[in-house]
Amino acid sequence: MTLTQATPSAQATPTLAQQVRSDFPILHQEVNGKPLVYLDNAATSQKPIAVLDAIHHYYERDNANVHRGIHTLSARATEAYEAVRDKTAQFVNAASRNEIVFTRNATEAINLVAYAWGMGSLQPGDEIILTVMEHHSNLVPWQFVAQRTGAVLKHVQLNAEEGFDFEHFTSLLSEKTKLVSVVHVSNTLGCINPVTEICAAAHQVGAKVLIDGCQSTPHLPIDVQAIDCDWFVASGHKMCGPTGAGFLYGKQAILEAMNPFLGGGEMIQDVFLDHSTYAGLPHKFEAGTPAIAEVIALGAAIDYLTAIGMDKIHAYEEELTAYLFQQLATIPNLRIYGPKPQANGSGRAALAAFTYEGLHANDLATLLDQSGVAIRSGHHCTQPLHNQLDLSSTARASLYFYNTFEEIDVFVSALKETIEFFSELL
């Protein structure tokens, strides 16, 4: 590790990362003989002991199916599972616990809205506005809907800073617009989109708005009522929770008006041989046995993040962003995509997708792995965005609040060595 005088962590007060790192056992290991530097947090975050313990505790003491049994274990499991609905509602400031539907992940939550609302509500010629920076999870479901309903897809382009082009967005809005579905924080460009303004403009023409909060919920305080979105989706595994548990927020009146998505146990009121009546919210959208342990562990993740404070996490990540960009700027000819952060690190997420001319992103990621540094390479499920930027792949370092300034030093010096190594071969 190369500690320079400029490294902010050289200051006396321990940084947030220094305070929390012991909570994450996985971070304390060597990979390829070097201390692990995990910078693939946009793909999935690591889990604190509190989350690991919640899963263990549930299977050791409380395992039973929820909402079904009279017996004590079932009552305990149900209580723990339903308590997470309250926590999730509070975490994103939903008006009611009925507005939170547990799903496997954000992808399933978007598909839920696409099938349960889009397929039934859209007519030929209706317009759906997306952006060119969307993750495949917020493109493909709407392609299904457009193919089956005759609705038309429109895409907001990038502005000169490679962020959301608000002017282009408003030029696409019309009385034909029925849905706007937009990512809050881009997993590739790192831009933080103006979702409150997007919702206000879309609502003026009577359109509904879905916000993909996959990359914002782990990092920023979220207030769905202040944003005034109609739906909001997130994945628990990117916010210290386990895989298999995510959620859909929807305004109560809108969820009530929607048909169910999947049919089966748990989502019904009464079943006859030829028809059924459905349960009320939120159970109408939770068919079958849910991911009970995972949802309970998501609750532990929410408790953990809340105890730290999302404002504090966001503020620390801004410091990391400033330092990351400052250090990456010392590498000539490195191209980072998306808007630049302010000098204090504000204005974008703590991630950088980049290319170095002549070098393949997979080669960069492979050699960095030899130095213990985990980054992602590829199209990050934003293939249309990569096509638009005339790229087949980028390398991406994505940080979380347990990452340190020293890790940025290790990453940047390993990246410099990697570039030097390949440059000598060329």
Give the number of other CB atoms < 10 A from CB of residue 28. 10
State which residue, 215 or 404, has the beta carbon closest to ligand C6P.
215
At closest approach, how far in Å is the CB of 426 from ligand C6P? 29
State which residue, 78 or 137, has the beta carbon closest to ligand C6P.
137
Give the contacts of 352 (CB within 8 A, at least 6 positions apart): 190, 324, 325, 328, 336, 396, 397, 398
| C-alpha separations of 288 from 266, 267, 386 in Å | 6, 8, 38
Sign of the dihedral through C-alpha 166, 169, 175, 178: negative
| C-alpha separations of 168 from 195, 213, 394 in Å | 15, 22, 26
**DSSP-assigned letter for residue 150:** -
Q: Kindly state whether residue 103 participates in binding ligand C6P, applying the rule CB under 6 A.
A: no
Q: Which residues pair with 153 in a beta bridge?
A: 128
Cα 239 to Cα 234: distance, rounded to the nearest angstrom? 9
Q: Kindly state whether residue 381 participates in binding ligand C6P, applying the rule CB under 6 A.
A: yes
Stretch that binds ligand C6P, among 105-113, 162-170, 307-315, 386-394 (CB under 6 A): 105-113
State which residue, 106 or 297, has the beta carbon closest to ligand C6P.
106
At closest approach, how far in Å is the CB of 29 from ligand C6P? 21
Contact assessment for residue 256 and residue 281, using Cβ atoms and an 8 Å cutoff:
yes
- Binding ligand C6P by CB under 6 A: which of 380, 386, 405, 406? 380
Q: Which of 414, 348, 368 is nearest to 188 (CA)?
A: 348
At closest approach, how far in Å is the CB of 33 from ligand C6P? 26
Q: Which of residues 215-274 bind ligand C6P (CB under 6 A)?
A: 215, 235
Could you tell me how many residues of this chain bind ligand C6P (CB under 6 A)? 16
Q: Kindly state whether residue 376 participates in binding ligand C6P, applying the rule CB under 6 A.
A: yes
Burial environment of residue 383 by CB neighbours within 10 A (0 to 12, 13 to 18, 19 or more): middle
Q: Kindly state whether residue 214 participates in binding ligand C6P, applying the rule CB under 6 A.
A: yes
Give the number of other CB atoms < 10 A from CB of residue 331. 14
Stretch that binds ligand C6P, among 83-91, 99-107, 256-264, 270-278 (CB under 6 A): 99-107
Q: Kindly state whether residue 187 participates in binding ligand C6P, applying the rule CB under 6 A.
A: yes
Q: Kindly state whether residue 348 participates in binding ligand C6P, applying the rule CB under 6 A.
A: no
At closest approach, how far in Å is the CB of 109 from ligand C6P? 8
Stretch that binds ligand C6P, among 158-166, 222-230, 374-382, 405-413 (CB under 6 A): 374-382
As annotated, the active-site residues are 381
Instruction: Measure CA 275 to chain center.
Output: 37
Binding site for ligand C6P (CB under 6 A): 42-43, 105-107, 135, 137, 183, 187, 212, 214-215, 235, 376, 380-381
